[in-house]
Amino acid sequence: MKAERAQQIYEMKDTVPVLLDGEHSVWIENVDLANEMATVQVGTRPTNTETVKVERLQEG
């Protein structure tokens, strides 16, 4: 995924399914456009967050 698309999904009111590495459902919590990084919540636990390259994200 491109950083701009990740930002669009983050700003949307609708829920868009996103996968990390094609396996884990995530919620995008923040996008760093300059560095093409995103902070995501993995699964349903709010404390389970990771900062990853947006290229690891896919619309599911």
Convert the pLDDT of each residue in 3-34 to its tens digit.
Answer: 999 999 999 999 899 999 999 999 999 999 99
Cα gap 5→48, rounded to integer Å: 23
pTM recorded for the entire structure: 0.89
51-59 average pLDDT score: 98
Question: Where are the domains positioned within the chain?
Answer: 3-59
**What is the fold, at CATH topology level, of the domain defined by 3-59?**
SH3 type barrels. (2.30.30)
- Residue written as tokens 């396996």? 23
Cα dihedral 27, 52, 7, 3 sign: negative
**Residues 42 and 55: beta-carbon distance below 8 Å:** no
The tokens describing 20, both together, are 């990390």
Taking the mean position of all CA atoms in its chain, how far away is CA 44? Answer: 14
